[in-house]
Chains A and B, each alone.
Chain A
Amino acid sequence: MNELEKYLEKESERLKNNKAPEELNERLRVALEQTPPRRKNKAPKWIAVAAAIMLLSFVSYNYNAFAYFGKKLLGYDELMTETLAQLNEEGGGQSIEKKVILSDGTELYLDALLTDENQSILYYTVKNSKGVVEESYFDRLRGSWTKAFATYGTSSKNEEGTEIKGIQAFEAVSPFAKELTLEYRYNEGTEQEEITFPYNPKLAMQTELKQSIRKKVHVDQGTIRFDSITATPSRTTIQAKVNVNNFDRIQLGGGGVQLLANGEPVELTGSSSKSAIFGQDIEIYFDRLPAKIDTLEIVVDKFVGYQTLNEAIAVSGDDDQSEEIHGKELIIRKIEKTMEGIQVTIATEQDVLLEGVSIQTKGKSTPLHTTLRADLLDGENGETYSERVLLFNTDDLPDTLSIEGMHYAKSYGEHIQLIDKKKTVEGN
């Protein structure tokens, strides 16, 4: 290092005395709190879904309301679900045909937009002869009464790596919006730009079913109130309010709720939740409803439950000690003595969370101090295990491991009938 660099280093040290004003932290906290929550996306695997079982029959389906979209979109076949492919056939949606050039010369084409009361779906193409990167390009759509955040997306690259075709979904846009501004980003989100294009709300697809539900289902630690169902050509959304103490203790969310149309399950495509006053507002998404519906019902097949256990498990000291508690497998992978204390590695099914865990040595009990790590691992038979490392503030190897209770995905099987035109025997 030469003199000049040494000098710069000293200057840098001196600059470090320049501290941020005290109010900064509070301002950042407030700014962050005022930001609307990002949707937790359990995005459907579109391609897999498209290849999966065809749940809907379009044989007798004929919808004249959206014959606006002059031409069919080409090249999106492998990305589209059956439902979207069908809407494309029918010409639902509107062309945008705008192009922007990103800083590295990449061309971004906005091809078309398909909107309804549930969501907005953007079809886009990214081209660069020097190669393109598959990343999430879009933030949100803005317009009159519209702040539609990006929800999920999917894309595929051509073999040469020079072109991407993608589909990006956003929240619904307002029927009052006459133009929309798309906020996009690239370079791992470091560069942000926007583009405005005209929008015709009259070309939005019609809602096929909208009904309020107002029914409550009681679960172990609270209630789920189903509020409404909105079925549009692109999706079916069920809105509910969850007031359940242990709702977010396991990952399940609304994923164990089913929608049965004519006795057949409509495919679940995702769910999201955001915190509200006294609980959470959740939305559960399903595919489009069949054209003809005789019966429609919601089934709370699985939802978070709680089981009191108060069990003490004798620790054998062997690796991978397997136990069964209330029908669920608990594996004590290993117990180690470390500098920080006793570390116990356990594994359970993904949707099991233990409550009130402690270890006992010669009559002395030590409560859980903290969980060091939690990982999802694949088991031998394709099942997913949640493995975590528990730390206890003691130096003594345990004789027993005590568990007060567990949160888990419990089968409830509660039914709510929404439509019942067929009071007689069901079946075809």
Chain B
Amino acid sequence: MRVVRLVKKAKKGNKGALLQLISEQQDAYYRLALTYMGNSHDAMDAMEDMIVSLYHSIPQLKKEDAFYSWSKTILVNRCKKLLQKKNKIVPMENTNESFEKPIITTDATNSFTQTEQRMDLKDMLSTLNANQQEAIELKYLHDLDLQTIADMTNVSIGTVKSRIFQGLKKMREQFGGEWNE
């Protein structure tokens, strides 16, 4: 497998191989960083941080084929670190149901018309708590698997599942019957 080969090279200290691995999913990394950081400048800073961090910790990666989920977990952690430094967010553990901090920063002018009602994803997500929002974004907007999301958010898979379930349920309740099965 090509990825595994590149990862093995990167483990030996080959910077070119690491850069190639990142470049191949550059847009996905960027979107993920952008979700957390909110602007392009900070997102790119976070990715710079990430690549340096990856370079040093890649020898510790045991499963080479898990490179992408592992590196994205590191990216998310770097983003959270940077945000903490900027005091932009309260750490996730301290949030509660009433805490409504939208993380999503996608272009608000984009919307999706379902039946007659203009639905805006940002508005919909903003009704959820930060943990539910994060889990749903990671799963549906960044196509990450549950294990990776669990690693990123530092909770068990069960918690991730429940956050997604509760979040989706709440969105359905809030935005009417057309979302039902």
Which residues of A are at the interface with B, using a C-beta cutoff of 8 A? Answer: 2-5, 7-12, 14-16, 18-21, 23-25, 27-29, 31-33, 35, 37-38, 40, 103, 135-136, 139, 149, 185, 187-192
CA distance A37 to B140 in the complex (A): 37
B60 at the interface (CB under 8 A from A): yes
Closest Cβ of chain A: how far from B70's Cβ, in Å? Answer: 7
Please tell me if the beta carbons of B13 and A37 are within 8 angstroms of each other in the complex. yes
CA distance A216 to B19 in the complex (A): 37
Chain A hits for B121, CB < 8 A: 8, 11
Q: Do A16 and B178 form a contact, CB below 8 Å, given A8-B141, A21-B40, A192-B53?
A: no
Q: Do A11 and B179 form a contact, CB below 8 Å, given A38-B56, A187-B151?
A: no
Chain B hits for A149, CB < 8 A: 56
Across the interface, A16 reaches (CB within 8 A) one of B23, B27, B48, B154, namely B27
Which residues of B are at the interface with A, using a C-beta cutoff of 8 A? Answer: 12-13, 15, 18-19, 22-23, 26-27, 29-31, 34, 40, 44, 47-48, 51-53, 55-57, 59-62, 70, 73-74, 77, 81, 106-107, 110, 112, 114, 119, 121, 136, 140-143, 151, 154, 168, 171-172, 178-181
Chain B hits for A4, CB < 8 A: 168, 171-172, 179
Across the interface, B73 reaches (CB within 8 A) one of A11, A33, A190, namely A190
Chain B hits for A9, CB < 8 A: 140
Please tell me if the beta carbons of B23 and A188 are within 8 angstroms of each other in the complex. no
**In the complex, residue of chain B having the shortest beta-carbon distance to the beta carbon of A274:** B13
Closest Cβ of chain A: how far from B32's Cβ, in Å? Answer: 10
Please tell me if the beta carbons of B60 and A11 are within 8 angstroms of each other in the complex. no
Compute the total of residue contacts between A and B using a CB distance below 8 Å.
126
22 CB < 8 A contacts A-B:
A2-B179, A3-B181, A4-B172, A4-B179, A8-B141, A10-B112, A12-B141, A12-B143, A14-B110, A15-B141, A16-B31, A18-B27, A18-B34, A21-B40, A24-B47, A27-B47, A28-B22, A35-B55, A185-B60, A188-B70, A190-B74, A190-B151
Across the interface, B27 reaches (CB within 8 A) one of A20, A31, A139, namely A20
Chain B hits for A190, CB < 8 A: 70, 73-74, 77, 151
Please tell me if the beta carbons of B140 and A28 are within 8 angstroms of each other in the complex. no
Q: Do A27 and B60 form a contact, CB below 8 Å, given A2-B181, A15-B31?
A: no
Closest Cβ of chain A: how far from B22's Cβ, in Å? Answer: 6
